[in-house]
């Protein structure tokens, strides 16, 4: 009795990748890269927003420090309101050492408008000595609604 053997030819087996497998791999890679690109753009937005919050915080605390050094003239600083920022000259940002309260106010307003987009501030000093400094600016990187594009940072302290 003779045993018949079939030889398996190598032509029936695959070697390498098919075009479909390559296309699926490229699709998965593209989705991953798009996710990475979205992550990078979100990172840039978060960094910009954090930078603006840091600037606003520094400006608010600077105003508190200025008012503490000129405590006797604290009522001069009550005139800082959101409406008082129109027409602030950009040349007033230069610090000149010890200055009168009006010079310090003008310099500080200039810094707020220069360092923050649409930057404005308000200072409220109560008769009891409680001081509130609020700095606000336009943060259009997050909100598409114009009414919600204003971000504010507020600090309350005692003189």
R_g over Cα of the chain: 31
pLDDT in tens, 27-62: 999 999 999 999 998 888 888 888 999 999 999 999
Averaged pLDDT, 12-31:
84
Furthest CA-CA distance within the chain:
121
HSE-CB for 27 with a 13 A CA cutoff: 6
137 pairs with which residues across the strands? 151
Q: CA quadruple 89, 117, 53, 80: dihedral positive or negative?
A: positive
pTM over 0.85: no
Averaged pLDDT, 113-128:
88
Averaged pLDDT, 140-149:
68
Q: What pLDDT is stored for residue 7 in this prediction?
A: 54
HSE-CB for 88 with a 13 A CA cutoff: 28
Helix, strand, or coil here: 149?
coil
Residue with tokens 């003008």: 106
């Amino acid at each position: 009795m003779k045993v018949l053997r079939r030889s398996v030819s190598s032509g029936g087996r695959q070697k390498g990748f098919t075009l479909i497998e390559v296309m699926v791999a490229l699709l998965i890679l593209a989705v991953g890269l798009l996710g990475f690109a979205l992550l990078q753009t979100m990172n840039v937005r978060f960094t910009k927003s954090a930078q603006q919050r840091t600037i606003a915080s520094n400006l608010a605390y600077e105003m508190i420090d200025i008012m503490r050094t000129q405590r006797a003239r604290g009522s001069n600083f009550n005139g800082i309101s959101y409406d008082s920022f129109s027409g602030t000259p950009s040349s007033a940002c230069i610090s000149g050492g010890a200055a009168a309260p009006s010079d310090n106010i003008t310099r500080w307003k200039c810094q707020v408008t220069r360092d923050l987009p649409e930057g404005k501030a308000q200072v409220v000093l109560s008769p009891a000595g409680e001081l509130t400094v609020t700095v606000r600016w336009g943060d259009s990187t997050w909100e598409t609604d114009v009414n919600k594009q204003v971000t504010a940072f507020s600090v309350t302290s005692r003189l």
